[in-house]
Chains A and B, each alone.
Chain A
Amino acid sequence: MNPTDIRAPEYFHKVVDCQWACPAHTPVPEYIRMIAAGQYTEAYMINWESNVFPGILGRTCDRPCEPACRRVRTEEKPVAICRLKRVAADHKGDIGHFLPQVPKDKNGKRVALLGAGPASLAVARDLLPFGYTVDMFDQDPAGGGMMRSQIPAFRLPADVLEEEVDLIVNMGVNATYGYEITSMKEMLDMNYDAYFVGTGAPRGRDLDLPGRKEVDEHISIGIDWLSSVAFGHTTSISGKVIVMGGGNTAMDCCRTSKRLGAETVTVVVRSGFEVMKASEWEKEDAMSEGIPIINNRPPKEFVHENGKLKGIIFECVKPIEEAGRLKYVPTGEPDVFIECDHILMAIGQENHCPWIERDIGIEFDKWDCPILDEVTLQSTHPKIFFGGDSAFGPENIIWASAHAHQAAISIHLMCQGKDPKSDRPPEGLNLISQKMGVHEWAYDAEHDASKRYLVPHANRRRSLENIKVEVELGFDEILGSREAQRCLNCDVQTVFTEKLCIECDACVDICPMDCITFTSNEEEAQLRNLLTAPAPNLEQALYVSTELETGRVMVKDEDVCLHCGLCAERCPTNAWDMQKSVIHIPQLGSYAE
């Protein structure tokens, strides 16, 4: 194998699995260390810079970081990254003096943000400190988008939401609420220098089955119903409720129904339990509130009597694997009838933009999604950018933040007369040695064998009575600092300097995970089997040195390295050093400095 180029920013970035998996590339280990040190405000600001909504995401994020966490591979349960983010948000002090200054003198460029959801707000936050005039339009009576309308208060309390939304709006966004955008042409006529479309995926899917029309008044589309609950238009639901769908919206619908007075709530899902789209913890929370989830039951017919809904007939199927894909075949059991008075349909949503005229220069693909440059998020109309769910379909809030940063860079470059693609700033990497003395490291290297700590919950009866009672209480400072200790500090890298190595084997002998091998150099496939411990995880890189004095090379399998620093600790010549990698992800604020 060729020697590894550790100066390429993506190499060490990839070693920090959580940061790599995070769409916004939040430097997770860095803020977790700050939480462990009780520096909540600083930990919050690291998050705020990178993902914009730490308090909200600390409660609602889909957590792509957690399945990526190295702990999953070394022990089992990942670090509770998401809930630690919340610890920073819950315990932070005054952040006022950390916030970017917004100049009074504007730069003369005007940007329109369509939609007031997370994507638009994040774009506003990035652009405002550069003197842009930012006008935001939304049909809802308040900002926040789906964070306000679709996430129930028992998961995301209003004050947490408002704090982070208002923080950005108060930086100087000219917000126009209750403004329904009906025509993109009309918007273009307002002659802004750039437009950002962050209108989300506002159309919930429907199901056209026999009886659908007749029972129309007993069926609600999940996200619309949640929205009407959020804005206080719906305050109760009665009788027996069936929630159709297996995603997080379905989980929010069923738990909200339970709180608004439904006699019974049942979730019925077309597919198997394991392949449901809902996050593991959302399913667990729903079930622990006594809501049954019935799987492998595709609906066949809505049964009604003179327009009065009676229930739904479901088919019984089972999943079988065929050519690596799941296929559902009838089990032969008789169809089942489940009685209900109301149906909440939560079977997916679309980023539907009927208000964008198709003759103004924005091209759409065959799925009716706008054609975008994946890096710049620019549409085929040079002034119009997309982000969040309206860009590539329904994702989650963290993707909206990630898109927003990219779009903000593009908008800024375009407004400066530069090319949004070729003039984009590159990623960067700094390596900072953590050695402070003979046996002193600037980070807590010691491995903590604790199991993942559970987040305490509010009293079940109380939280089921009141939709505004938040179910999760969050870690307190003590639990938070304990959980923070579980972080393996994967951003503190094992950096190897060939010319210092005397090949004494000390690192090989001490490594608890058998990551290090000195061997003759081979092709990667061969090398992976030659190591002290086999390295079958192809997603994890091998770190290969240049040739050493004996003609061998050092090969380190990054897969299960604990970053405990013992190799560096036992190295007599400092050929191994623990160096913190700081990965610079271009963002409008950071590269203009």
Chain B
Amino acid sequence: MTFVPKPRVHHPLLQFNEIGLTRRDYEGSVSTLCAGCGHDSVSAAVVIACNELAIPPHRFAKISGIGCSSKTPSYFLGASHGFNSVHGRMPSVATGANLANHELHCIGVSGDGDSASIGVGQFAHIVRRKVNMLYIVDNNGTYGLTKGQFSATNDRGSTSKRGVPNLYSPIDLVSMALQIGASFVARSFSGDKQQLVPLIKAAIMHKGFAFIDVISPCVMFNNHNGSTKSYQYVREHTASMVDAQLVMPHEQIEIEYAPGTHKEVDMPDGSVLRLRKISETYDPHDRVGALNHVQRAQEQGDVITGLLYVDPIASDIHEVLETTSTPLNQLEETDLCPGSEALTAVNASFR
């Protein structure tokens, strides 16, 4: 908890983005999470990413469930739409929000408890439904709000603060997302904004379901020796597979890579996603290969990060359902109730 409000005054040289806002305009209230919580870094990364994308804050909808992670939407995009929903039920609310107004950029924030335990069913189905959103899981492997029990993503053998080992196998949400058909899957680390910010930008601009699993250490209950989700463990065992940078339409492409080492993916807004392979053997467009890689690494206790899979020609729920291009919440009464003649025509088509 922090009681001191963050002063509104900012650095005299703070940059304005293309729509005349500063990063400070994308902040929310001061975090009430424990000092040093990884989740706060994720929130900060969202703030930086949204500022760099220069999307007005009120064009975002942020939706969450219950838990430490799900409190965090209060701490970013203070001027956006928000819905703090029921435990594990963020996907349902997010689906509804996206169906009602596909023009809003939907950011769902959940945790390992919210998505891998109580909400694991909801998680599986929102992936299947291809809802066009960014789904972030702040994954700390522990139930911090209830003082440090193992969560479903905690690795087998990883110990609690008191040294008791976890006896159960973990649920890997990245593997699940890959398997069920997510079109953008990444893993990152709250302590590495250089990697996380571009991923969030790319995920927001991705059309289709984008999932980022962020290892986000719990400083209170899961940041000790013996934990596989501590700052130290992750820093020692992390390996980035693919470096992703989103190049906005107005931006100059500065770095030239050697041919064959990078790929470019066109994004719907005209930006370009540049993928630079760090591992020779890794192909970010190969779903099955990615799945194998992730599982193999996990077996060895390694944490592979970066953009693990992206489908360059993904579709979303509105395409699948063939909805009208006008957001549903903007349809007038005349559109929704076209009159008895139209009804008669519809009825006639079934006769």
Contact = CB atoms under 8 A, between A and B. Distances in A.
A439 interface: yes
A550 B35 contact: no
B235 A73 contact: no
Given A449-B8, A513-B10, A505 B191 contact: yes
A506 B231 contact: no
Contacts of B79: none
B303 to A, nearest CB: 15
B195 to A, nearest CB: 13
A564 interface: yes
Interface stretch (A250-258, A376-384, A570-578): A570-578
Interface string A497-541: 000001111101110111100000000000000000110100000
B285 interface: no
Contacts of B8: 449, 512
Contacts of A347: none
Interface in B154-178: none
B41 A506 contact: yes
Contact of B40 (A503, A506, A536): A506
A42 B1 CA distance: 35
| B1, B2, B232 — most chain A CB neighbours (10 Å) | B2
Given A503-B231, A505-B44, A447 B223 contact: no
B350 interface: no
| A73, A510, A536, A560 — most chain B CB neighbours (10 Å) | A510
Interface residues of B, number: 35
Interface in A422-467: 439, 445-447, 449
B224 to A, nearest CB: 11
Given A439-B1, A550-B235, A560 B12 contact: yes
Given A504-B191, A572-B219, A512 B37 contact: no
A504 B217 CA distance: 9
B9 A512 contact: yes
B11 interface: yes
Interface of B is mostly: loop
Nearest to A502: B231
A40 B224 CA distance: 50
A503 B191 contact: yes
A75 B9 contact: yes
Interface in B1-20: 1-14
Nearest to A534: B13
B87 interface: no
B14 A533 contact: yes
B217 to A, nearest CB: 7
A112 to B, nearest CB: 52
B13 A533 contact: yes
Contacts of A566: 2, 4, 6
A565 B10 CA distance: 15
Interface in A42-78: 73-75
B44 A449 contact: no
Interface string A343-378: 000000000000000000000000000000000000
Contacts of B314: none
A417 B192 CA distance: 63
Contacts of B2: 439, 510, 566, 569-570
B34 interface: yes
A448 to B, nearest CB: 9
Contacts of B12: 73-74, 560
| B12, B14, B30 — most chain A CB neighbours (10 Å) | B12
A506 B35 contact: yes
Nearest to B34: A572
A504 B1 contact: no
A286 to B, nearest CB: 32
Contacts, number: 98
Contact of B44 (A445, A509, A562, A573): A509
| A74, A566, A570 — most chain B CB neighbours (10 Å) | A570
Contacts of B274: none
B36 interface: yes
Given A449-B7, A504-B219, A571 B35 contact: yes
A407 B231 CA distance: 56
A514 to B, nearest CB: 5
Interface in A160-202: none
Contacts of B193: 505
B36 A573 contact: yes
Nearest to A504: B36
Nearest to B30: A510
Contacts of A549: 232, 235
B7 A447 contact: yes
A564 B36 contact: no
B155 to A, nearest CB: 20
A210 to B, nearest CB: 52
B4 A562 contact: no
Contacts of B198: none
Contacts of A513: 9-11
A535 to B, nearest CB: 9
A570 B1 CA distance: 8
Interface string B187-208: 0001101000000000000000
B9 A504 contact: no
B78 to A, nearest CB: 15
Contacts of A503: 191, 231
B11 A514 contact: yes
Nearest to B15: A533
Contacts of A449: 7-9
B30 to A, nearest CB: 8
Interface in A8-54: none
A10 B259 CA distance: 54
Contacts of B41: 504-506, 509
Interface in B250-295: none
B65 interface: no
B131 to A, nearest CB: 29
B144 interface: no
A572 B37 CA distance: 8
B38 interface: yes
Nearest to A565: B4
Contacts of B40: 506, 509-510, 570
Nearest to A575: B36
A515 B9 CA distance: 13
A445 B4 contact: yes
Contacts of A508: 44
A566 B1 CA distance: 11
A515 B1 CA distance: 22
Interface in A192-236: none
A593 B35 CA distance: 43
Nearest to B23: A514
A534 B11 CA distance: 10
Interface in B44-92: 44
A514 B11 CA distance: 6
A571 B4 contact: no
Contacts of B5: 446
A509 to B, nearest CB: 4
A512 B22 CA distance: 12
Contact of A562 (B1, B7, B34, B235): B7
Contacts of A562: 7, 9
Given A505-B191, A572-B219, A512 B38 contact: no
7 contacts: A74-B9, A505-B193, A510-B31, A512-B6, A514-B10, A533-B14, A571-B36
Closest 9 CB pairs of A and B: A572-B36, A447-B7, A509-B44, A533-B11, A572-B219, A504-B36, A572-B35, A514-B11, A512-B7
Interface of B: 1-14, 24, 30-31, 34-38, 40-41, 43-44, 190-191, 193, 217, 219, 223, 231-232, 235
Interface of A: 73-75, 439, 445-447, 449, 502-506, 508-510, 512-515, 533-534, 536, 549-550, 560, 562, 564-566, 569-573
Given A510-B40, A514-B10, 8 more contacts: A439-B3, A506-B37, A506-B40, A509-B41, A509-B43, A512-B9, A549-B232, A566-B2
